[in-house]
Amino acid sequence: MSISFLRRKKHEPEPPPPPPVEDVEAREYSERITLMGRSSDALRLPAGPAVVASLPSIVESIAPGRVDIIEPLPLDLANASPAMERFTELQQWVVARRDLGPVGRHGLWVLELIDALDMTVDTFYCALLHGETDTSGYPEYQAIVGGLASHWDELSGELIVRAVVGWGGLGLRGDTDRIGQRILSTVHAQLIASGYVLGPAEARLPLVGERTGLNCMHCGFQAGAEGAMYCPRCGMRMSRSS
């Protein structure tokens, strides 16, 4: 930096002070969206097609309506998110979930936004469990949706299943939390009553974020850990030969 530059800078006149700011008359706008969810502890179930096939019927047994089986996100849309302001992720979400009914879409909206689901690996069995829908079929804010969420344990290959429910939107009712807890307990009890449960799962969710393990040769998903034996997304055995 040259000295002439410094000198010039020094002799620049001070900018005039900003005029005093008076508060302008303001009209206020606000809207409160409340999203709530609950998840039970996860349980271990044996791997196998019969067990997987039984999960929708467990939710069906307590749901008045149909059960949506919502698969994990396709790998090319893995960043999809129902968050309105994340436009690219939202576009991906719309593409990935365009065939879903309003109950499943509402369930994903509530539970993904509060991180109660990880749809990169979870399969979500979702139904309307309590309350009403509007005339377009979308659950009202006090309606409770949910059911079961499952993924595969990376080390044992067992199916990890938990009950999960959610509700919310442009309103909140005082008794919904109590009803939600009761319904969560009912789903959890139905899961145990299926007879498949091996025991509690360790609180070991698949790693979210940086994934460092092998790529699954069946679905292409990258495992969260070097030592992963099974794909958390599709449940197939990781191949270590390549």
Contact mark string toward Zn ion, 177..216, x via CB under 5 A: ---------------------------------------x
* Phi, psi values for residue 133, rounded to 5°: -110, 160
Nearer to Zn ion, 67 or 216 (CB): 216
Nearer to Zn ion, 66 or 218 (CB): 218
- What is d(CA 48, CA 161) in angstroms, rounded to the nearest whole number? 13
Nearer to Zn ion, 191 or 207 (CB): 207
Q: How many Cα atoms within 13 Å fall on the side-chain side of residue 222?
A: 9
Rounded to the nearest whole angstrom, what is the least distance from the CB of residue 217 to Zn ion in the complex? 8
Nearer to Zn ion, 191 or 223 (CB): 223
Rounded to the nearest whole angstrom, what is the least distance from the CB of residue 73 to Zn ion in the complex? 13
- Measured between its terminal Cα atoms, the distance across the chain in Å is 57
Nearer to Zn ion, 157 or 180 (CB): 157
Note whether 73 binds Zn ion by CB under 5 A: no
Note whether 231 binds Zn ion by CB under 5 A: yes
The residue from 221, 222, 228, 238 that contacts Zn ion (CB under 5 A) is 221
Q: Cβ–Cβ contacts within 10 Å for residue 185, how many?
A: 14
Closest CA to 197 of 41, 44, 8: 44
Contact between residue 59 and residue 123 where contact means Cβ atoms under 8 Å apart: no
Rounded to the nearest whole angstrom, what is the least distance from the CB of residue 175 to Zn ion in the complex? 42
Rounded to the nearest whole angstrom, what is the least distance from the CB of residue 18 to Zn ion in the complex? 60
Instruction: Tally the residues of the chain.
Output: 242
Nearer to Zn ion, 153 or 165 (CB): 153
Contact stretch for Zn ion (CB under 5 A) within 95-103, 109-117, 188-196, 228-236: 228-236
Closest CA to 180 of 195, 161, 165: 165
Note whether 152 binds Zn ion by CB under 5 A: no
Burial (CB count <10 Å: 0-12, 13-18, 19+), residue 193: exposed
Task: Report residue 187 CA to chain centroid gap.
Answer: 18
- What is d(CA 51, CA 194) in angstroms, rounded to the nearest whole number? 9
Contact stretch for Zn ion (CB under 5 A) within 65-73, 74-82, 105-113, 232-240: 232-240
- What is d(CA 102, CA 93) in angstroms, rounded to the nearest whole number? 14
The residue from 131, 218, 225, 237 that contacts Zn ion (CB under 5 A) is 218
Nearer to Zn ion, 35 or 234 (CB): 234
> How many of the chain's residues bind Zn ion (CB under 5 A)?
7
Question: Is the Cα dihedral 175, 113, 64, 121 positive or negative?
Answer: negative
Binding residues (CB under 5 A) for Zn ion: these are 216, 218-219, 221, 231, 233-234
